[in-house]
Chain A
């Protein structure tokens, strides 16, 4: 019998019992649909995290103090005072270091901030003018901290849009107004553009002041909490990390790199970590979806086994009239493949629709990879063959006399 003929015959058989056929297909629809939707969700999360991290500066290297091992205890980064302004200047002016574009020495601490009747406990960051370009920050209005502000230890502040919203609730422009940081009066000279960042350092709710002012006037310290650097390109990130690392080790007179009193992170490291984390997340979600697909496949097998039992007489008759094993096998396999393939097609549509709704509701990206759709088709046809095989084989091995006797 020709395959097209078997196809139409199988389709006819399947439409006879619409409820059962529908329920069998539903199992596959849910399986394929959830695989598509969850892979899409995972990829959207991965992309949005990636773009957020990249928005913080793709070629960014950060040196944090501390991290030296004293016995078994590893000091928390930022908890020690080993990083100085002189280190930053040395890195910036060194002729040995060729892979770094610019350097930004930073001191960050928290302090109470008052503006009019509002107050907030905010992160105060002492910065140099290079901070703006290294951290890919832009000004919404006003100006950023200048060399003069830094040299003269001016009491000026640049606010993130988040803190503006917290402190200036009446909607007036804060530029030119004053705020009090730890009791000292600062004039606001600029507001940064929102980066929409979350997690890590939320740059939107930061207050920037000149580094010298932060160190001497506000916090009374002479060390740095971090040095940020921009590498010349993303290709030299590793080289830059090594160059700066060995340079600082030499400066700090440390011979054993494992005893370094600082650590260097690249944005790439964070990106890699985040990507692999969300990758794991996606794999986990897909795993859950794959289980529902498996359950759907077992549903198909169950339906096909019931069908074979129900149609024992029919199979016996077909064999008595001349049907060969292969014809019977193909007939039942065709039925299960039609079931899973239809389930696959509907499942892809449901999955795409679900991903679209999820992306709208959570206002995230809408990503559907053609790879996951291809996968869904291959898997659904595969399930049809895999779970249809056993019932089909059983049908083809029925002896015609046994089958004809069957009531």
Chain B
């Protein structure tokens, strides 16, 4: 299996008012294709900063980060945009759908930045909305659907560019637990289909859906273990 993420000696230092804060301190790890990794840690542990670096939203102060064979180190803003567009599918805690436009248009958005022809965009977006079970909500705007449905739209959006990595930041943080299970079911299914998923969370029972859990504490990796018995989604369906 090839490595999707190769992180070696990542450091991130913030300077605020002359005081240096070490958010990420010498972190090295590798994530291979097809893995489902949960990155856990209490708030302030540096897991969000790490997620920003892994998502090419921010650059490390030092260290080397290779994403799907591409070195992110020396890229400018536009090249980073391009990397994010092609290689990463984001799923955010706050869903981050554009309000007032339809879920279909939301899902089509990343393809617009990649200049995919319009008809193709519509076809692909429709396919993924169907996959997350929302083909009957395609023409609703995002404020007309529930939180769980919004997150499923966001997952559909993260998939349309066929990314090397799905990066989910507290994907269940803003939704009810029953719907959270549905989201985790989708992630597990995607992983079974071969997608590489990295999920940031602070909830142990959510993290247990993954195959591997990395604990972050004070900017360092505290533990990194594979779970042999991953938790299976228990849906309370009639």
Contact = CB atoms under 8 A, between A and B. Distances in A.
Contacts of A399: 57-58
Give the residue among B52, B81, B85, B96 with the most A Cβ atoms within 10 A: B81
A155 interface: no
A21 to B, nearest CB: 14
Interface in B57-85: 57-58, 77-78, 81-82, 84-85
Contact of A324 (B81, B100, B110): B81
A288 B6 CA distance: 64
A5 interface: yes
A364 B85 CA distance: 63
A322 interface: yes
Nearest to B78: A324
B96 A317 contact: yes
B113 A1 contact: yes
B14 to A, nearest CB: 12
Contacts of A319: 81
B82 A320 contact: no
Nearest to A323: B113
A281 to B, nearest CB: 50
A318 B115 CA distance: 14
B36 interface: no
B82 A324 contact: yes
B3 interface: no
Interface in B124-145: none
A313 B110 contact: no
A1 B115 contact: yes
Nearest to A407: B94
A16 B98 CA distance: 13
B90 interface: yes
Contacts of B7: none
B112 interface: yes
Nearest to A311: B98
Which size bracket describes the interface of B in this complex? Answer: 20 to 34
A314 B109 CA distance: 12
Interface in A327-380: 327
Interface in A1-34: 1-2, 5, 12, 16
A313 B92 CA distance: 12
A107 to B, nearest CB: 84
B113 A321 contact: yes
A167 interface: no
Contacts of A322: 81-82, 84-86, 110, 113-114, 161
Nearest to B77: A325
Contact of A1 (B55, B84, B98, B112): B112
B84 A317 contact: no
Nearest to B51: A401
Interface residues of A, number: 22
A323 B77 CA distance: 10
Contacts of B112: 1, 5
B44 to A, nearest CB: 15
Contact of B90 (A5, A320, A323): A320
A321 B84 contact: yes
A323 B112 CA distance: 9
A295 interface: no
A193 interface: no
A277 B62 CA distance: 71
Contacts of A327: 113
A78 interface: no
Contact of B96 (A324, A326, A404): A404
A399 to B, nearest CB: 8
A126 interface: no
Contacts of A318: 109, 113
A99 B191 CA distance: 103
A326 B114 CA distance: 13
B85 A321 contact: yes
Contacts of A400: 57
A320 B84 contact: yes
B110 A321 contact: yes
Contacts of B109: 318, 321
B98 A324 contact: no
Nearest to A314: B98
Interface string B91-127: 0100010101100000001101111001000000000
A404 B51 CA distance: 13
Contact of B52 (A2, A313, A401): A401
Contacts of B157: 321
A321 B90 contact: yes
A317 B81 CA distance: 11
Interface in B171-229: none
Contacts of A317: 96, 98
A323 B86 CA distance: 11
A89 B110 CA distance: 94
Nearest to A397: B77
Given A321-B85, A322-B81, A404-B92, 7 more contacts: A1-B115, A313-B96, A314-B98, A320-B57, A322-B82, A322-B86, A399-B58
- Nearest 6 pairs between A and B by C-beta? A322-B85, A322-B113, A324-B78, A321-B110, A317-B96, A401-B57
Interface of B: 52, 55, 57-58, 77-78, 81-82, 84-86, 90, 92, 96, 98, 100-101, 109-110, 112-115, 118, 157, 161
22 contacts: A12-B101, A314-B98, A317-B98, A318-B113, A319-B81, A320-B57, A320-B84, A320-B96, A321-B85, A321-B109, A322-B85, A322-B114, A324-B77, A324-B78, A325-B77, A325-B78, A325-B81, A326-B78, A400-B57, A401-B52, A404-B57, A404-B92
